[in-house]
């Protein structure tokens, strides 16, 4: 993340965006692992101060120094339910495919159901596990997709999953989530969701919507605010 450009981006779009989804956000973190660099320990509060017309919701799989998921929703929407569902409490080098180079934090699914103009919509915010050996299928990645899909299917209304899944297209982990739904990254021909900070084009981020969602516009923006490019979805 590049702090100043990101905050400028959020402020610029706060008048025309109704919902922001963020990942790897800290909230009053006491200690942050050195490998995370110059992460801001109170970023959630800084974003909330920048967005006074929004209600902010924070969710993390663990306490301690793990960055969490954040949804900001315009106050004009009626919130029916907010859930933080832990998919994996904690993952470490002893738990995946006997790969000693593996490391991943716990993983959770943030779920927010709201009503607007008589319609129900559910937003899912998810950051898939990271594996040192690459962004292909593993047994636990497939299991995490199965868990997320079950919750997606059991939820109400038009459903939208926003995820850095940490897997490339053409994986079973992704197919589990897209079957019977619309994969907007594939549908709109997106070839990379990475910024120049990563210095390699690849798709690892996805927006998956149920068939009830009426998509008006979808695009990957070119603003350089982190190693991932912002994604914009306009829907009814």
Summarize pLDDT for 128-155 with one digit per residue, the tens.
Answer: 988 877 899 988 899 999 999 999 999 9
**Does residue 15 surpass a pLDDT of 90?**
yes
Spatial separation of the C-alpha atoms in residues 66 and 96, rounded to whole Å: 19
Instruction: For strands 158-164 and 119-127, give the pairing.
Output: parallel
Spatial separation of the C-alpha atoms in residues 140 and 80, rounded to whole Å: 31
The pLDDT value recorded for residue 188 is: 98
Average pLDDT, stretch 34-52?
82
- C-beta contacts of 119-122 below 8 A and 24+ residues apart: 119/157, 119/158, 120/80, 120/156, 120/157, 120/158, 121/157, 121/158, 121/159, 121/160, 121/213, 122/155, 122/156, 122/157, 122/158, 122/159, 122/160
pTM of the model: 0.91
Read off φ and ψ for residue 35, nearest 5 degrees. -65, -15
The pLDDT value recorded for residue 155 is: 98
Spatial separation of the C-alpha atoms in residues 18 and 31, rounded to whole Å: 32
Which CA distances in Å does 22 have to 56, 96, 124, 207, 216? 11, 26, 11, 13, 22
Average pLDDT, stretch 104-116?
91
The pLDDT value recorded for residue 95 is: 52
Mean pLDDT score across all residues of the chain: 89
Residue 103 is given by DSSP the state -
Report percent pLDDT > 70 for the chain.
88
pLDDT tens per residue, range 46-88? 999 999 999 999 998 876 656 899 999 999 999 999 999 999 8
* Spatial CA neighbour of 1 closest among 29, 41, 31: 41
The pLDDT value recorded for residue 41 is: 78
The pLDDT value recorded for residue 94 is: 42
Spatial separation of the C-alpha atoms in residues 180 and 209, rounded to whole Å: 10
Instruction: Categorize the per-residue pLDDT at 40 as very low, low, confident or very high, splitting at 50, 70 and 90.
Output: confident
Residue 159 is given by DSSP the state E
The pLDDT value recorded for residue 2 is: 78
The pLDDT value recorded for residue 31 is: 53
The pLDDT value recorded for residue 111 is: 98
pLDDT tens per residue, range 158-216? 999 999 999 999 999 999 999 999 999 999 999 999 999 887 899 999 999 999 999 99
The pLDDT value recorded for residue 164 is: 97
**Does residue 29 surpass a pLDDT of 80?**
no
Could you say which architecture CATH assigns to the domain 3-235?
A: 4-Layer Sandwich (3.60)
């Amino acid at each position: 993340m590049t702090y100043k450009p990101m905050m400028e981006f959020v402020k610029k779009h706060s008048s025309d965006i109704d919902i922001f989804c963020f990942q790897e956000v800290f909230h009053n973190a006491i200690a942050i692992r050195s490998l995370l660099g110059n992460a801001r320990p109170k970023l959630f509060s800084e974003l909330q101060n920048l967005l006074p017309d929004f209600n902010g919701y924070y969710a993390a799989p663990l306490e301690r120094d793990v960055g969490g998921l954040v949804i900001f929703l315009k106050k004009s929407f009626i919130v029916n339910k907010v859930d933080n569902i832990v998919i994996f409490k904690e993952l470490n080098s002893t738990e995946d495919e006997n790969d000693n180079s593996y490391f991943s934090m716990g993983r959770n699914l943030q779920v927010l159901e709201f009503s607007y103009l008589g319609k129900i919509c559910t937003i899912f915010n998810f950051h898939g596990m990271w594996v040192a050996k690459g962004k292909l299928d593993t047994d636990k990645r497939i299991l995490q997709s199965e868990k997320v899909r079950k919750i997606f299917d059991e939820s109400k209304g038009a459903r939208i999953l926003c995820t850095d899944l940490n897997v490339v297209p053409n994986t079973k982990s992704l197919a589990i989530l897209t079957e019977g739904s619309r994969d907007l990254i594939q549908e709109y021909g997106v070839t990379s969701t990475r910024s120049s900070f990563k210095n390699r084009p690849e798709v690892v981020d996805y927006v998956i919507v149920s068939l009830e969602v009426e998509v008006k516009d979808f695009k990957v923006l070119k603003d350089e605010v982190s190693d991932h490019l912002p994604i914009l979805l306009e829907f009814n």
